[in-house]
């Protein structure tokens, strides 16, 4: 995707029930405590966000639901994502846990339901259960998180040929997942990046000269550059913050400036040092046969 000012607001998603769209920018809620999470979600939606990401493992679905309700934004205008905890794999536990998620979120459906990690096993049974839940109207789209290429391909082959609508993985300038992104593009899988700022662990570091130089040239923060790089790369991006000022400023970044083609090229070629801000991506290397 080129560095055009017409960066789209949404991206197309594929589904056996028909196509749809998903916002390309939203709010992440991992490590958000109860009160702050509710206020951040409420404020984000009132500012104009329309994508909210949560998970059973985050233990904040109820607070996310409260924030959605208090925002005053109609539910159907919001794209809500949650994920099945690895402890809840298998048809019975998956179904029960999703019903509980819907209760906590205060809704009768989520827009996107993901398998959070392959580490929980029973992947075929769990994926087939997600398909059933979609058929029942409990979710609109289904996908995976922290899945590598081999795991995704094996899951598709074992369950009838349908590719996930989305794969959510750690993704930022210092961990660009280029091979996975190319594979996903070929198979119509939208890529959603968590930790888009690498938890700020690279900011100011010696390995981060490219992003620092580009941020200085534009008079913006390193976080702003990370967000623009992701959006201009066609990656669904969900920076997490409980700071209400940053909630608003991150949204402004979506349209306030753009990276040039040369700046995008510099980041693509020089910033990708393989830095992992999370241990979650270790699951991408697991042998599917042992967890199927």
CATH number of the domain within which 89 lies: 3.20.20.100
Q: What is the pLDDT of residue 33?
A: 77
Q: How far is CA 75 from CA 50, 67, 108, 273, in A?
A: 10, 11, 10, 40
Question: Using CA atoms, how far apart are residues 225 and 203, in angstroms rounded to an integer?
Answer: 11
Q: What is the pLDDT of residue 7?
A: 62
Count the alpha carbons within 13 Å of 212 in the hemisphere toward its beta carbon: 9
- Which residues form the domain of 116? 10-200+230-247+275-291
Q: Is 88 a domain residue?
A: yes
Question: Using CA atoms, how far apart are residues 226 and 275, in angstroms rounded to an integer?
Answer: 14
Instruction: Flag whether 218 is marked binding.
Output: no
Catalytic residue among 58, 163, 183, 291: 58
Read off the tokens for 196: 């888009």
Q: State the total domains in the chain.
A: 1
Q: Is 92 a domain residue?
A: yes
Q: What is the pLDDT of residue 2?
A: 37
Q: Give backbone dihedrals phi and psi of 57, rounded to 5 degrees, phi first.
A: -65, -25
Read off the tokens for 223: 């976080």
Question: Using CA atoms, how far apart are residues 26 and 48, in angstroms rounded to an integer?
Answer: 10
Read off the tokens for 185: 């593009």
14-21 contacts at long range (C-beta below 8 A, 24 or more positions apart): 14/163, 14/165, 14/188, 14/189, 15/134, 15/140, 15/141, 15/142, 15/165, 16/131, 16/162, 17/134, 17/135, 17/140, 20/140, 20/141
58 belongs to the catalytic site: yes
Q: What is the pLDDT of residue 176?
A: 98
Q: Is 209 a domain residue?
A: no
Q: Is 215 a domain residue?
A: no
Q: What is the pLDDT of residue 138?
A: 98
Question: Using CA atoms, how far apart are residues 208 and 128, in angstroms rounded to an integer?
Answer: 42
Q: Is 102 a domain residue?
A: yes
**Is residue 179 classed exposed, middle or buried when 0-12, 13-18 and 19+ CB atoms within 10 A define those classes?**
exposed
Q: Is 260 a domain residue?
A: no
Other C-beta atoms lying within 10 Å of the C-beta of residue 134: 19
The per-residue b/e assignment along 187-217, b for 16 or more CB within 10 angstroms, e otherwise, is eebbbbbbbbbbeeebbeeeebebbbebbee
Q: What is the pLDDT of residue 266?
A: 98
Are 175 and 198 in contact, with CB atoms under 8 Å apart?
yes
Q: Is 120 a domain residue?
A: yes
pLDDT, block means (10 residues), the chain with 292 residues: 56 81 96 87 98 97 98 98 98 99 98 98 97 98 98 97 97 98 97 94 87 96 96 96 94 90 98 94 92 92
Q: Is 263 a domain residue?
A: no
Q: What is the pLDDT of residue 16?
A: 67
């Amino acid at each position: 995707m080129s560095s055009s000012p017409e960066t789209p607001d949404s991206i197309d998603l594929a589904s056996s029930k028909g196509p749809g769209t998903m916002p390309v920018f939203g709010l992440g809620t991992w490590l958000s405590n109860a009160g702050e999470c509710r206020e951040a979600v409420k404020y984000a939606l009132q500012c104009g966000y329309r994508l909210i990401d949560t998970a059973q493992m985050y233990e904040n679905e109820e607070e996310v639901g409260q924030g959605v309700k208090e925002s005053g934004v109609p539910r159907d205008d919001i794209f809500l994502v949650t994920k099945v905890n690895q402890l809840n794999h298998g048809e019975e536990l998956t179904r029960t846990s999703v019903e509980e998620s819907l209760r906590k979120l205060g809704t009768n459906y989520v827009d996107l339901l993901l398998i959070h990690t392959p580490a929980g096993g029973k992947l075929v049974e769990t994926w087939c259960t997600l398909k059933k839940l979609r058929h029942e109207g409990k979710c609109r789209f289904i996908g995976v998180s922290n899945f590598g290429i081999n795991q995704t391909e094996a899951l598709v082959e074992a369950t009838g040929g349908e590719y996930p609508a989305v794969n959510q993985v750690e993704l930022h300038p210092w961990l660009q997942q280029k091979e996975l992104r190319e594979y996903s593009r070929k198979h119509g899988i939208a890529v959603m990046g968590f930790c888009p700022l690498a938890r700020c662990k690279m900011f100011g570091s010696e390995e981060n000269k490219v992003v620092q130089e580009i941020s200085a040239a534009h008079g913006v923060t390193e976080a702003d550059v990370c967000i623009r790089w992701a959006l201009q790369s066609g990656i669904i991006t969900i920076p997490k913050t409980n700071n209400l000022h940053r909630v608003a400023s991150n949204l402004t970044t979506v349209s306030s400036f753009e990276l040039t083609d040369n700046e995008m090229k510099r980041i693509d070629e020089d910033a990708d040092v393989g830095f992992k801000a999370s241990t979650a991506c270790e699951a991408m290397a697991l042998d599917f046969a042992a967890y199927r």
